[in-house]
Structure 1
């Protein structure tokens, strides 16, 4: 039963990571409502790209930089917190609250299963 729960929560985690990229793009585009469309589009592309680079380097299970738990926690907080914040500021507060709640619940469940720690390698 524990394996099923862990596997399910890790799958949800992956979906949340992908959802955060979408939220960064949507929120980044919507945060500057009166701005030029080209710049809004560039922001919508740049934020998820930056998030992917940071996540892959400092927060992914097979990340190359493993010596800093502070970076591991910080990047996750920056990417997920930024996604929720930009989604709310960009005009989608209901989606932001829903996404944030699911992110917190998933993190707490994975932590309680011993599957949320910078020491874990997959």
Structure 2
């Protein structure tokens, strides 16, 4: 049973990581409604690209930089917190709240299973 719960939570974690990228794009695009569409799109793409690079380098399970737990925690907080904040600021507070709640619950469950730590590799 524990393997099923762990596997389900890890799959949800991956989906939440992808949802965070979508939330960054949608939230940043909607955050400046008076800006030109091209600028809004460029900002959204740049934030998603930056998040992908940071996550891959400092927060992914098979990341190349493993010497800093602070970076691991900080990048996750920055990207997930930023995604939720931008989604709320960009005009989708209900989605932001729901996404934030699922992110917190998933993190708590994975932590309780011993699967949320900078030392864990998948």
Q: Please indicate, yes or no, whether the TM-score normalized by the shorter chain is above 0.5.
A: yes
CA RMSD of aligned residues (A): 0.4
User: 5+ unaligned residues in a row in structure 1: which ranges?
Assistant: none
Q: What per-residue deviation string (whole Å, max 9, x for no partner) do you get for residues 56-104 of structure 1?
A: 0000000000000000000000000000000000000000000000000
The 1-side partners of 2:121 and 2:110 are apart by 14
Q: Deviations over 1:23-55 (max 9, x none)?
A: 000001001110011100001111111000000
Q: Please show how residues 1-122 of structure 1 align to structure 2 within 5 Å.
A: 1-122=1-122
Using the size of structure 1 for normalisation, the TM-score is: 0.99
Alignment partners' CA distance in 2, 1:117 and 1:68: 12
Question: Number of matched residues?
Answer: 122
Q: CA–CA distance in 1 between the matches of 2:28 and 2:42?
A: 9
The 4+ residue runs of structure 1 with deviation greater than 3 A are: none
Q: Provide the TM-score with structure 2 as the length reference.
A: 0.99
In structure 2, the gaps of 5 or more residues are: none
Distance 2:121 2:76 in 1: 16
| C-alpha displacement of 1:121 | 1.4
In structure 1, C-alpha distance between the alignment counterparts of 2:34 and 2:121, rounded to whole Å: 44
